[in-house]
Structure 1
Amino acid sequence: MVDEGARRHGWGSTRWYETSPTDSGREAAQAARADGADVILIAGGDGTVRAVADVVRGTGIPVALLPFGTGNLLARNLGAPRNDLTASVAAAFSGSSRAVDVGVAELRDETGSAHTHAFVVMAGMGLDADMAKTTSALAKKHLGWLAYVSPIATSICKNRRFLLRFRVDHGPVMTARAHTVIVGNCGTLTGNMLLLPAARVDDGKLDVVMMRPAGRLGWTRIGSRLTLQGWARRSRLSRTLLSYAGDLRALAYTQGSVFEAAFDEPREIQLDGDGFGAVTRVKISVLPGALLIRST
C-alpha cells in the first residue's frame, strides 16, 4: 500500500527500515536520515515515534504517522487518522507539514550518570511510569489497554506519594508531595479523557500536572474530572457543569518552558510509554516546532 501510494502521488521508490526488539526505531531512523529520506513513515505507536523524533528533530525531515501502537496518543491529539491506513499513507505523500513541539528530558540517576532523550507526548513519574515498567510488550500487543488494568489498580491501592523539589522556568524552588507528576506536550488520553486542558502540541510550552489524591475516593474524583474535561470540548452541557465544578485540589496545574525536579529517592520515569529507569533529578525543556509531521 505504501509503494502504491508513493507511485500514485508521483514520488520515487521507497525504502524500508525494520525495527527490532532491542531497537524501537532509533537505528532505523538514523539509517533513513543518512540515506537522504524526504519523508519518514513511522509504522508503530508513540514509543516508535519518540525514537524517530529523537533522531530527526530539527533536521527539517518530515515524518508521517501510521498508528499501530497501543495508545497512539500523538495521532489522537493531532486528529490524524488512526484506523484508516489508506488515509494515513495519503497524508504522507500528499499532505502538508505541520511543525510541532518536542520535549527534551535530561535524566540523572543515583550514580550521577546523565542521559538525554526526546519525547512528543508526555513524560511522567508515578502511575504512568509504574505502568510502563510493569507492563510487557507482549501483553500490550495482545490485550491493548487492558494490559494496564493490573498496574493501575496496584498503584492506586498503594497510593504512595513522593517528595519532590521543583521549579518552573528558573523560578523559585518549591516542595510538594505527589503520587504522579506528568509533563506533557499533548493533553488527551485514550477514552477522550483530558488530562492537560491547556496543552497544545505547537504552543512552545510544557504543561505540568501533579496528582495528589486523598485515597481511592480521590482517584475517583480525578477520573470523573478528566472525563468531564474531555466531554466539555464537545458538549455545551459538560462545559456548563465544568464551569460550576471549581478547581480540584487533587490536580495541581502549571505551565512553562522548563521544568526541573529533584526527588527524595529514585523514581521511575517514562517517556511516551517507554520506561527509562529510576532517576533522582530531571530537567525537561521544550523545543518549539522542532518536528515536522505530515497531515491532511
Structure 2
Amino acid sequence: MKIIGIANPVSGRRGKRDLLDDIQACAARRGAEFAWRWSSSAGDAARLAAQSDGADVIVVAGGDGTINDVVNGLKGRGTPLVVVPLGTENIIAKEFGFPATADAVIRRALEGRPLTIDAGSVNARRFMIVVGVGFDAEVVHRLAEVRKGHISHATYLGPLLSTFARHEFPRLVVEVDGVRVFEARGLALVGNLSRYSMGLRILNRASPEDGLLDVCALPCDSRGRLLLHALDIARGRHTERSGEGVVYAQGACIRIDSPDVAPVEVDGEPAGVLPIECRVRPRDVRLLVEERDSAVLARWNGRGDCVPC
C-alpha cells in the first residue's frame, strides 16, 4: 500500500516532528510505502494533494485549515483520508475520532472502514466545517493579520477582544434555495458539521451525510445581544429563539449578501467578504473510520445515517 503524508509545519502544536517520524516508522514496520510531503506556504497542501495520484491513502497532519486545503486539492477524487490532529481546534479529528498516536494512525490507514461524507462549496471553494459571516469571521481576519507561526487558544484572545470592542454588525440578507429567510443586522454560519470552536454546537442539527447544508442566522446589533446569543449557544438553546428572529434552516444552496463590507471565514481561515454562495457537494470526501466509531456517528441518528462506501 502507498501512503502519502501531507504535513503543515506551522500548525498549532509544537514538538510534533517526533510523532511524524514515528508514523513513518510504524508504516515501514507494517510493510507500507510512506513518505511525508511538507507544505511550504498557506494553501500549498492543496497543490501536494493534487499531485498525489497513485496514493491509496493520504495522511493529513495539521489543523482544520490544512484538511481544507487537501480536500480542495483532491477535488472529489475519492482518495481516503486519515487525519493527525495537530491544529488548535482539530474539529474534524474530534468529530470523527481520529487518533493522535503513531500506531493508531497507521492502523486506521491500513484497516479503517471507508466513510463518504458531504462537503460544501463557497464561491466554488470546498469546505468541510463552517463558513462564518460577521463577528467570528472578523476575529479570524484579525488573527491572520498578527499570526506568526504556531498558535493556541490564547492567541485568539487579542483578536477576540479587539473585535468585541470594534465590530459593527453588518446587515445580512440570507436566502435558502431561493427563498429569503433572514434580513437583519447580525451574524450567520453555514456548515456541514454540528461541532464548532470550543466544543460549541451552533449548527446542532447538521449531519455530514444528509445532502444538505445548515445555516443559523442570529440577529444582533449590540455587544449585549451578542453576549446573550453566546449564553444561549453554550446552553444549546439558541435554536429555540425563532420568535426573537433567530433563523435555522437547511438547503442545498445558501446565499448571503450585504450592503456593508462583511468579512467571511472558511474552516477557520480568512476568505474575503460577502457576497457568498454556498452549495452542498453530496458524498464528496472519503474518510477512514473504525467500526467502534459508530458510537460517535450515532450522534447523527435522526439527522443522517452512517453511509459506508
Separation in structure 1 between the aligned mates of residue 44 and residue 87 of structure 2, nearest angstrom: 12
Alignment counterpart, residue 5 of structure 1, candidates 11, 14, 26: 26
Separation in structure 2 between the aligned mates of residue 140 and residue 251 of structure 1, nearest angstrom: 36
Q: Note the alpha carbon deviations across 1:199-219, whole angstroms, 9 max, x for none.
A: 112221111111223533323
Separation in structure 2 between the aligned mates of residue 9 and residue 138 of structure 1, nearest angstrom: 42
Structure 1 residue 49, shift from structure 2 partner: 0.4
| Residue number in structure 1 paired with 2:306 | none
Unaligned runs of 5+ in 2: 1-21, 291-309
Q: What secondary structure is seen at the aligned counterpart in 2 of 1:294? A: strand
Which range is displaced more, 68-77 or 212-221? 212-221
Q: Which amino acid aligns with 2:210?
A: D
| Residue number in structure 2 paired with 1:177 | 184
Superposed counterparts of 1:85-164, under 5 Å: 85-106=102-123, 116-136=124-144, 139=147, 142-164=150-172
Structure 1 residue 150, shift from structure 2 partner: 2.2
Superposed counterparts of 1:158-237, under 5 Å: 158-170=166-178, 172-174=179-181, 176-213=183-220, 215-229=222-236
Separation in structure 1 between the aligned mates of residue 102 and residue 130 of structure 2, nearest angstrom: 25
Q: Which amino acid aligns with 2:231?
A: S
Conserved 8 A contact 2:144-2:270: no
User: 2:285 aligned with 1:278, yes or no?
Assistant: no
Q: Report the identity percentage.
A: 24
Conserved 8 A contact 2:186-2:218: yes
Alignment counterpart, residue 28 of structure 1, candidates 48, 59, 68: 48
Alignment counterpart, residue 93 of structure 2, candidates 55, 58, 75: 75
Distance 1:180 1:24, change over 3 A: farther
Conserved 8 A contact 1:161-1:177: no
Distance 1:44 1:138, change over 3 A: farther
Q: Which amino acid aligns with 2:39?
A: T
Separation in structure 1 between the aligned mates of residue 114 and residue 272 of structure 2, nearest angstrom: 34
Q: Which amino acid aligns with 1:163?
A: R
Distance 1:179 1:84, change over 3 A: farther
Unaligned runs of 5+ in 1: 107-115, 230-241
Q: Which amino acid aligns with 2:261?
A: P
Q: Which amino acid aligns with 2:108?
A: A
C-alpha RMSD over aligned residues? 2.5
Q: TM-score, normalised by structure 1?
A: 0.81
Distance 1:250 1:69, change over 3 A: farther
Distance 1:84 1:180, change over 3 A: farther
